[in-house]
A and B are shown apart, each in its own frame.
Chain A
Amino acid sequence: MEQLFSQIFVGLSIGSILLLVALGLTFTFGQMGVINMAHGEFIMAGAYTTYVVQQALGDGATSTAFLLSLPAALVVAGLLGLALEALLIRRLYGRPLDTLLVTWGVALILQQLARDLFGAQNVEVKSPGWLNGGTEVLGVGVAYNRIFIMVLALAATAGAWFVVSRMKQGRRMRAVMQNRQLAAASGIGTAAVDRRTFFLGSGLAGVAGVAITQLGSVGPTLGQNYIVDAFLVVVAGGLGKLRGAVIAALVLGLCNSLIEYWTEASLAKVIVFVLIVAFLQLRPQGIVAQETRGLA
């Protein structure tokens, strides 16, 4: 029983990480339809931002540095996203597969840049004192850093939800997503909306990067470990659907950890993939589907 609780906790923890890394994609991929393969590198940029802020403030201020790096990473990754959108992605509108490949090229360049700036060796980010250690819930040991990630995922999701459904910017975003021409004709500056959407989505990747520094060391290829999973979450959840992404992330996390418990890590990964393909057979639109008429 305790074993089961422990696996569920691990699953929720994996799920919250998946949610964090996929959240930004629900904007860039889901809302704008842009497959940004450099999203993983924006996560990496967020992680290195944490490292830089910590180095700059010195050993005495680990806690302050960590909290400060959340907004800092949001801005750094967001600006990277803004530059990518303005320089390349905007020119590739209507060419989704080419966008995918071009952003992959950008990802390679960013990885090498990180290698040249910070060295090929991984760097360590120190945890603030209050994230060390853990407690016991229902007889299961839970680490504080895992709880922190869950809380952060929750907060980031709530923030994203607020922007999309309660703010003017969010309404415009949805308008542009549903009918670009009509939105443009109604006086919405679609280019500006695209820029903001991309800033927000990329910035969220940076925030995810901060959280990931608490799980291990930071290296140039950190983002590559998350990118495929993040895309699967968005595809399985239904494009541009926050609710779908939340459900998909948690279900995938739980599946991963429970199947791993019954079999082993390498098989679990394969089984989860097969489940996703099977699920897309039943619901090609993902968990939360947009109702449309005509050819989708």
Chain B
Amino acid sequence: MSPQPTPPRAEGDPAIRPRHPSDPPQTPPEKAGEPLLRIRGLGVQFGGFHALTDVDFDAREGEVHFLIGPNGAGKTTLVDIITGLTKPTTGSVSFDGQQLVGHKEHRIVHFGVGRTFQAATVFEALTVGENLDLAASYRLGLRRLLRQPRGHADAVVEALEVTGLADEVDKSAGALAHGQKQWLEIGMLLAQGPRLLLLDEPVAGMSPDERTRTGELIRYLARGRTVLVVEHDMDFMRRFADRVTVLHEGRILRADATVAEVQADPTVQEVYIGRARDDRNSAGRSGAAAAGAPAASDDEEAA
């Protein structure tokens, strides 16, 4: 029915091959340096409900940092605050020394922060190439926007190649397969040249094959940038994460750990295994509620 997605072109590149569980744990390159993203004492309330409480969080350049936790843990809320969609009640978010709280969404993008959404949102009436071109042109003034574009910028060409969408460049984005839309959205981020990328459940609804390719894409993105990934998929995290932070009920359960540390952590296991057991007993949503996460604050609703 839908055409088989072509794999990202960067497959052969050894630097971006998927991490194997037996690989030695990667130490982030600049562990000692000032973190690119620094969050302190962050808290937010929605009409009395504490979605996040006293969150401290750091992410350094060049790392793929996974943000995990059960439904309602506040992962998407955290991303929303960093990108200016939600205003925090307390706390600060500094990015490369720049305070982000209080700036409008589109200003924050200009500081070098980009994000994707849980449900991939691309401009379906435009072609793939036009989508990427629009993303790459965000610094142009009105006068240059009013010109008719000719050819593709280097950033657009790179994004087309890395996402494997070069053959679809003139195809309407609405006609892409689900996985391809996700890649296009990531490609749009790439074309903007941000230093911090926030990916909200990038592999939701993808086949195992597509997951692997998305993971490779994420590793490629992380070169010289910081990638923050919100994910439910534990297996995906194990394969592609450098660092992991676990959120639970709006609090940090385990900050800035390695995959191995998180897997060995009994409290993390408690949260996840407890949740898994509940999931077996009662279905889906009520399971999350039983694990202590209010169903009403499901992450999906914030997207």
- Interface membership of A168, Cβ < 8 A: no
Residue from A291, A294, A295 having most chain B Cβ neighbours under 10 A = A294
Across the interface, do B302 and A294 meet the contact criterion of CB distance under 8 Å?
A: yes
- Secondary structure of the B contact surface, majority rule: mixed
**Separation in Å of the B86 CB from the closest CB of chain A?**
8
Contacts of A166 in B (CB 8 A): none
- Interface membership of B23, Cβ < 8 A: no
- CB within 8 Å of A: which of B45-99? 46-47, 85
Interface residues on B, range: under 10
Across the interface, do A291 and B302 meet the contact criterion of CB distance under 8 Å?
A: no
- CB within 8 Å of B: which of A257-296? 291, 293-295
- Interface membership of B235, Cβ < 8 A: no
Contacts of B85 in A (CB 8 A): 295
- In the complex, A293 Cα to B297 Cα: how many Å? 9
Report the nearest B residue to A294, measured CB to CB.
B302
- In the complex, A43 Cα to B303 Cα: how many Å? 41
- Secondary structure of the A contact surface, majority rule: loop
**Separation in Å of the B48 CB from the closest CB of chain A?**
10
Across the interface, do B47 and A294 meet the contact criterion of CB distance under 8 Å?
A: no
- Interface membership of B154, Cβ < 8 A: no
**Separation in Å of the B82 CB from the closest CB of chain A?**
16
Contacts of B297 in A (CB 8 A): 293
- Interface membership of B13, Cβ < 8 A: no
Contacts of B46 in A (CB 8 A): 293
Report the nearest A residue to B296, measured CB to CB.
A293
- Interface membership of B301, Cβ < 8 A: yes
Q: Could you give, for residues 265-303 of chain B, a 1 whenever the CB lies within 8 Å of some chain A CB and a 0 otherwise? A: 000000000000000000000000000000001000111
Report the nearest A residue to B46, measured CB to CB.
A293
- In the complex, A219 Cα to B18 Cα: how many Å? 76
Report the nearest A residue to B300, measured CB to CB.
A294
Contacts of A295 in B (CB 8 A): 85
**Separation in Å of the A144 CB from the closest CB of chain B?**
47
- In the complex, A293 Cα to B46 Cα: how many Å? 7
Contacts of B303 in A (CB 8 A): 294
Report the nearest A residue to B47, measured CB to CB.
A291
**Separation in Å of the A223 CB from the closest CB of chain B?**
37
**Separation in Å of the A290 CB from the closest CB of chain B?**
11
- In the complex, A293 Cα to B50 Cα: how many Å? 13
Contacts of A291 in B (CB 8 A): 47
**Separation in Å of the B258 CB from the closest CB of chain A?**
33
**Separation in Å of the A182 CB from the closest CB of chain B?**
12
Report the nearest B residue to A293, measured CB to CB.
B46
Q: Could you give, for residues 119-148 of chain B, a 1 whenever the CB lies within 8 Å of some chain A CB and a 0 otherwise? A: 000000000000000000000000000000
**Separation in Å of the B124 CB from the closest CB of chain A?**
15
- In the complex, A219 Cα to B284 Cα: how many Å? 59
**Separation in Å of the A236 CB from the closest CB of chain B?**
23
- In the complex, A293 Cα to B85 Cα: how many Å? 11
- In the complex, A291 Cα to B297 Cα: how many Å? 14
Report the nearest A residue to B77, measured CB to CB.
A293
- In the complex, A294 Cα to B303 Cα: how many Å? 7
- In the complex, A13 Cα to B297 Cα: how many Å? 45
**Separation in Å of the A185 CB from the closest CB of chain B?**
13
- CB within 8 Å of A: which of B32-51? 46-47
User: Can you give 9 A-B contacts (C-beta < 8 A)?
Assistant: A291-B47, A293-B46, A293-B297, A293-B301, A293-B302, A294-B301, A294-B302, A294-B303, A295-B85
What are the nearest 9 A-B pairs in CB distance?
A294-B302, A293-B46, A291-B47, A294-B301, A293-B301, A293-B302, A294-B303, A295-B85, A293-B297
Q: Which residues of A contact B (CB under 8 A)?
A: 291, 293-295
Q: Which residues of B contact A (CB under 8 A)?
A: 46-47, 85, 297, 301-303
Given contacts A291-B47, A294-B302, 7 further A-B contacts (CB under 8 A): A293-B46, A293-B297, A293-B301, A293-B302, A294-B301, A294-B303, A295-B85
